[in-house]
């Protein structure tokens, strides 16, 4: 279903994962102020690339494995105000990155995260959601190579995947730089986690010393919380 934001429009008709609150949270939160080059891994509809273009002056490389999703992505880029700053490549990350010499100031990814359980009958949705197509260790290996020495990588993961993901960071000499736990309401437990990674050598604190921040999407009345409004009002039409 097409989705209109304040400064751009997204058609995700052929994408395995449609526009979601997860993607909007990640695109609005990632610390992009200093980035001159940004890589969007698994660009899908182009949502993260377009949000990054709105929030920065960076040159953005979008990467998408599925040809139909890439078609939507290119259309959305072409219709946006930032088509001259976003380059889309339709390729598999695992085949693409070994030959890439560029180091990116920031890497964005809303990665596949399920490694078990039933898969969607829609192959595009299954590819977008299950680690069969991109395991965590493969993703982290790519981030290690592609991230600039002082760069950052921002991701969002569900609570069920956090315990598997965080212990892998040390294997790739990566470190947790910051973290935000997301709840749907003040009384709920965190269901999503925004994670910002850096090279371990550039981090002042070990991952276990990072104190998570917290954002509740809605307040006790059911309305968007002040924190949610502050984070996303540059994008959502009704905020």
Give the integer Cα–Cα distance in Å for 231 and 112. Answer: 24
Cβ partners under 8 Å of residue 42, min gap 6: 63, 64, 65, 93, 109, 110, 111, 112, 128, 134
CA distance 130 to 138: 13
Q: Evaluate whether residue 126 is within a structural domain.
A: yes
Q: For the chain, what is the largest distance between any 2 Cα atoms, rounded to a whole number of angstroms?
A: 52
Flag whether the pTM goes above 0.85.
yes
In a domain, 117, yes or no: yes
Question: At 207, is the secondary structure helix, strand, or coil?
Answer: helix
Encoding tokens for residue 174? Answer: 């990566």
Alpha-carbon distance of 66 to 74, in angstroms, equals: 12
Using the predicted structure, report yes or no on whether residue 128 has a pLDDT greater than 70: no
pLDDT by residue (tens digit) across 190-199?
A: 999 999 999 9
pLDDT at 166: 95
Mean pLDDT, the chain, rounded, equals 91
Size (the chain), residues? 239
Average pLDDT over residues 214-226: 97
CATH of the domain at 117: 3.40.50.150
Residue 5 lies inside a defined structural domain of this protein = no
- A 10 A CB-CB count for 149 gives 9
- Strand ranges of the sheet holding 59-64, from the earlier edge strand across to the other edge: 86-90, 59-64, 37-41, 104-109, 147-158, 192-199, 174-183, 213-216
CA proximity to 12, closest of 38, 48, 57:
48
Q: What are phi and psi of 206, to 5 degrees?
A: -70, 155
Cα atoms in the 13 Å half-sphere on the side-chain side of 185? 6
Helix (H, G, I), strand (E, B) or coil at 48: helix
Judge whether 10 lies within some domain.
no
Determine the pLDDT at residue 131.
44
Domain of 198 in residue numbering reads as 17-232
pLDDT tens by residue, 42-92: 999 999 999 999 999 999 999 999 999 999 999 999 999 999 999 999 999
List beta partners, residue 158: 192
Q: Is residue 12 part of a domain?
A: no
142 part of a folded domain: yes
Q: How far, in Å, CA of 14 to CA of 1, rounded?
A: 9
**Residue 204 pLDDT:** 64
Q: Is residue 1 part of a domain?
A: no
Residue 4 lies in a domain: no
The pLDDT score that the predictor gives to residue 37 is 98
Q: What gap in Å lies between CA 81 and CA 196, rounded to an integer? A: 27
Which pLDDT band, with edges at 50, 70 and 90, does 201 fall under?
confident
Predicted local distance difference test score (pLDDT) of residue 113: 72
Average pLDDT of the residues in 211-226: 96
Query: Does residue 127 surpass a pLDDT of 50?
Result: no
3-state secondary structure of 84: coil
For the chain, how many structural domains are there in total?
A: 1
């Amino acid at each position: 279903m097409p989705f209109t934001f304040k400064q751009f429009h997204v058609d995700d008709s052929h994408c395995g994962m449609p526009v979601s609150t997860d993607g909007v949270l990640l695109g609005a939160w990632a610390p992009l102020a200093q980035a001159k080059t940004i890589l969007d891994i698994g660009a899908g509809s182009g949502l993260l690339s377009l949000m990054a273009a709105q929030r920065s002056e960076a040159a953005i490389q979008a990467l998408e494995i599925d040809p139909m999703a890439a078609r939507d992505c290119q259309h959305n880029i072409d219709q946006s105000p930032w088509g001259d700053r976003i380059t889309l490549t339709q390729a598999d990350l695992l085949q693409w990155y070994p030959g890439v010499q560029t180091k990116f100031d920031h890497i964005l990814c809303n990665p596949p995260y399920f490694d078990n359980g039933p898969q969607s009958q829609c192959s595009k949705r299954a590819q977008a959601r299950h680690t069969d197509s991109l395991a965590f260790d493969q993703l982290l290996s790519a981030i290690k190579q592609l991230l600039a020495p002082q760069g950052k990588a921002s991701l969002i993961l569900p609570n069920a995947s956090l315990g598997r993901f965080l212990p892998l960071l040390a294997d790739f000499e990566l470190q947790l730089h910051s973290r935000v736990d997301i709840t749907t309401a003040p009384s709920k437990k965190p269901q999503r986690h925004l994670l910002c990674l850096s090279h371990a050598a550039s981090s002042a604190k070990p991952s276990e010393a990072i104190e998570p921040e917290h954002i509740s999407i809605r307040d006790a009345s059911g309305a968007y919380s002040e924190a949610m409004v502050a984070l996303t009002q540059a994008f959502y039409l009704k905020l």
